[in-house]
Amino acid sequence: MIASVFSLLAGCTGAASMATSWPGFLVDQATETVYVSFNAHVYALNLTNGTEKWRFPSEADNKITFFADPALTNEGNLIVGAYNNILYAIEAASGNKVWEFTDSTNRYIAGALIVEDQVFAPNSDNHLYSVTEAGTLRWKGSTEHSLWATPVSDGTYVFQPSMDHHLYQYEIESGELIWKSDDLGGTMIGQPLLTPEGTLYLGTFGNELIAIDTATHEILWRFSTNGWVWSGPYLEDDVLYFGDLEGYIYAVDAQNGSSIWQIQPDTSENRAVFGRVLIVEDSLYFASRGGILYAVDKANGNPRWNKAFEAQFLSNLVQSGDTILISANKSDSILFAFELNGNQRWSFIPAK
């Protein structure tokens, strides 16, 4: 398991001979569109049936490769970084390029964060870039290692996890470094969860989920897991739900970090749960690297159903009405849409 994960890490950092990752995507319910960034293109798809509206660029360019999750600005521009070190703004309605930001010197693996008219783009060159909605640099924050996690913000500060085991806090307007955490014990790759009350929850490759008070910088609690935690948790009714790379799913009390329940539904080699889980009503949904989609009872983890697909599921699960979406590797289809009972609604196979 660990060897296979390191092969994924190598592919994303450039240690492998080719760029390899999994599709990023964003759902815009207002326009009933899902945007998918994968390989040579960014695609706009009809959310209802998965048909293609446009692709950027219209013709493949072997110098451009996309995998980072797209983000959408208030002005209707899609922001997405590429493996050619460029951050692109694309008009969401048409697919036309609006601008390029070219200051970074390495790949964009994490998606950008949009806060009002500001774009915060973490890059593998050890910098968080603050960019205007017109594509000009406002400030950049330095870290000691690559940034693979999308930051979070409370409107006053931006909190950026790093692969150097530290969490960074920047003032949103000036970029001043307010605080850098002590070594938290492991690499951080998934986007944290920040509550309105100021508690930040983040998973680490130190086999932990950690709760931090962002006002005092105090670690409130640490919860030990069986494997590395890739993604951030899902919070509902004061319970945190998340998975790890040993295939465990956890329900943890958000106030004190105590375990409510945990399950490991699969013990095979491809049991890892990379993406953020999803809760719809009383069901918890998650997916494994082995291509299995699961639904369990959120109250106790008891199984409801699971369905296997010829795919590799590594992305977050996203809900849109009565539809669940997830991107895929090792499959002709790069995006799947499911009904809440697990039946496939549609999948998207890019036309050549």
**57: domain CATH number?**
2.130.10.10
Is there a domain that residue 10 lies in?
no
Q: With a cut of 50, say whether residue 135 has pLDDT above it.
A: yes
User: pLDDT over 70 for what percent of the chain?
Assistant: 94
Q: DSSP 3-state helix, strand, coil percentages of the chain (rounded to 5)?
A: 5, 45, 50
What is the distance between the alpha carbons of residues 335 and 321, in angstroms, rounded to a whole number? Answer: 17
Q: With a cut of 80, say whether residue 13 has pLDDT above it.
A: no
The pLDDT tens digits of the residues spanning 136-167 come to: 999 999 999 999 999 999 999 999 999 999 99
The pLDDT tens digits of the residues spanning 47-82 come to: 999 999 999 999 999 999 999 999 999 999 999 999
Distances in whole angstroms, Cα of residue 327 to Cα of each of 24, 293, 322, 341, 347: 7, 12, 17, 18, 9
pLDDT, residue 15, reads 41
* Domain span holding position 77: 21-183
* Domain-ending residue, one of 129, 151, 183: 183
The tokens for 246 are 């040993």
| Residues listed for the chain | 352
Give the global pTM: 0.95
The tokens for 160 are 């950026």
Is there a domain that residue 4 lies in?
no
Average pLDDT on 244-254 reads 98
Average pLDDT on 41-46 reads 98
Q: State phi, psi for 44 to the nearest 5 degrees.
A: -110, 125
DSSP letter (8 states) at residue 233: P
Q: With a cut of 90, say whether residue 332 has pLDDT above it.
A: yes
Compute CA 254 distance to the chain's CA centroid, rounded to the nearest angstrom: 21
Is there a domain that residue 46 lies in?
yes
User: Do both 145 and 118 map to the same domain?
Assistant: yes
What is the distance between the alpha carbons of residues 347 and 153, in angstroms, rounded to a whole number? Answer: 33
Q: How confident is the model at residue 20 (pLDDT cuts 50, 70, 90)?
A: low
- Residue 240 and residue 251 in contact, taking contact as beta carbons nearer than 8 Å: yes
* Domain-ending residue, one of 156, 183, 210: 183
Longest dimension (CA), the chain: 53
Average pLDDT on 284-308 reads 97
User: Do both 159 and 286 map to the same domain?
Assistant: no
Is there a domain that residue 3 lies in?
no
The tokens for 50 are 């998965």
For the chain, the first-to-last Cα distance in angstroms comes to 33
Q: How confident is the model at residue 6 (pLDDT cuts 50, 70, 90)?
A: very low
Is there a domain that residue 13 lies in?
no
Query: What rounded mean pLDDT belongs to the chain?
Result: 94
Q: With a cut of 90, say whether residue 352 has pLDDT above it.
A: no
pLDDT, residue 19, reads 46
Q: With a cut of 70, say whether residue 30 has pLDDT above it.
A: yes
* Domain-ending residue, one of 148, 183, 218: 183
User: Do both 147 and 197 map to the same domain?
Assistant: no
What is the distance between the alpha carbons of residues 231 and 212, in angstroms, rounded to a whole number? Answer: 16
User: Residue 262: which of 236, 307, 227 has the closest Cα?
Assistant: 227
248-260 as b/e: b if 16+ CB within 10 A: bbbbbebeebeee
- Residue 215 and residue 156 in contact, taking contact as beta carbons nearer than 8 Å: no
**Which residues face 325 on adjacent strands?**
318, 337
Average pLDDT on 81-90 reads 97
The letter for the amino acid at 163 is M
The tokens for 215 are 């006002």
* Domains: count for the chain: 2
Compute CA 60 distance to the chain's CA centroid, rounded to the nearest angstrom: 25
**Which residues face 168 on adjacent strands?**
160, 180
**Which residues face 343 on adjacent strands?**
none
Is there a domain that residue 347 lies in?
yes
What is the distance between the alpha carbons of residues 64 and 41, in angstroms, rounded to a whole number? Answer: 8
Q: With a cut of 60, say whether residue 38 has pLDDT above it.
A: yes
